[in-house]
Amino acid sequence: MTHSVEAGTVLPFFSSEHWQRQAVLCQWFSTLMFKEPDDATLAAYQAGDAAPLLNWLSEDGLQSEAGALQSAIAGLSVFEHPRLELAADFATLFLSDARHSAAPYASCYLTERGGFMAEPAQRMAARLANAGVSLPEHVKEPADHLAVMLDYLAGGYRQLAEQNDKAQTTTLTGIGQFLEQELCNWLPAFHQRCQHSSVASPFYPALATLITAFCRKRQQETLS
C-alpha cells in the first residue's frame, strides 16, 4: 500500500494534498466494503500497513473511530483463522437477508419498503453514466452499493486535487450535495444495524462507525 502524503503531516485545508488524502481513504473504505480482505492483506494490516491511513483519520479529528478499528485489527490475533472469521462476519452483515442484516445498499434505507434497485440505485447509476464511469464486468452489485459510492466519491476528490481554486468550488459543491443526498442520509441507519448484529470480530462494526463519521466530517467540510 503506497501513500502520496506521509502520515503526521498537517495539511492546509483545500490543498491538493488534502484532497489526495481523502481520495486514498475513500478508496480504502471502498475496497474493504467490496469484499473481505485476503490472508496477505490481513497480515499486512496486522503488521502495521493500515497505520498511516488510521493516523490520517486521527489527525482529522476521528481519533476514537480510527482507534476502534485499530483495536479491532489488533484483536484479530486471537483467531486461529482470522480471514475465515472476517469472511463469516462479512456474510452475516452484508450478504444476508436485507431485513435482518446491514445490507450496504442505499435503497434498503431510503425507500418505504426497504427494497433493492430503487430510486437511489437509479440515481447513482445516472451519476456514474454522467461521469463516464462503468462498473467492471465482475462487479455484479447495484450502483447504490456503499463500495461503489465510496469509489465514486474517491474520484471526486481526485478531481479536486487536480483543479485550480475556481474550478474546485463547483466540484466541492457537487461533492457536498452527493454526501448529503446519497450517503449521509442512510449511513447512520446502516451503522446502527452493524452495531446490533452478532459477529465474531468488532472489525466491521468499527469500520461502519468510521465510514459514517468520515462521511459526516467530509460533508461538514463542504459547508466551511
Instruction: Find the CATH number of the domain harbouring 188.
Output: 1.10.3480.10
Lowest mean pLDDT among 66-70, 117-121, 146-150: 117-121
Residues spanned by the domain of 216 = 25-222
Distance CA 64, CA 143 (A): 31
Residue 214 lies in a domain: yes
Question: Over the chain, what is the mean pLDDT?
Answer: 90
Q: What is the DSSP letter of 93?
A: I
Task: Assign 139 a pLDDT band (cuts: 50, 70, 90).
Answer: confident
What average pLDDT does the segment 133-157 reach? Answer: 89
Distances in whole angstroms, Cα of residue 41 to Cα of each of 15, 49, 50, 196, 214: 30, 9, 10, 27, 22
Q: Which residues pair with 145 in a beta bridge?
A: 105
At 166-184, the pLDDT tens digits run 888 899 999 999 999 999 9
pLDDT in tens, 49-97: 999 999 999 999 999 999 999 999 999 999 999 999 999 999 999 998 7
Looking at the chain, the whole-number percentage of residues with pLDDT higher than 90 is 76
Note whether residue 175 is domain-resident.
Answer: yes
Contact 23, 3 (CB under 8 A): no
Angle (CA) 207-9-202 rounded to 5° is 15
Residue 216 has pLDDT above 80, yes or no: yes
Residue 143 lies in a domain: yes
* Inside any domain, residue 80: yes
Least confident among 103-117, 173-187, 189-203: 103-117
In a domain, 138, yes or no: yes
Residue 11 falls inside a structural domain: no
Does residue 172 lie in a domain region? yes
pTM, to two decimals: 0.92
Residue 98 has pLDDT above 90, yes or no: no
Number of compact structural domains in the chain: 1
Cα separation, 59 vs 11, in Å, equals 10
- Establish if 13 belongs to a structural domain: no
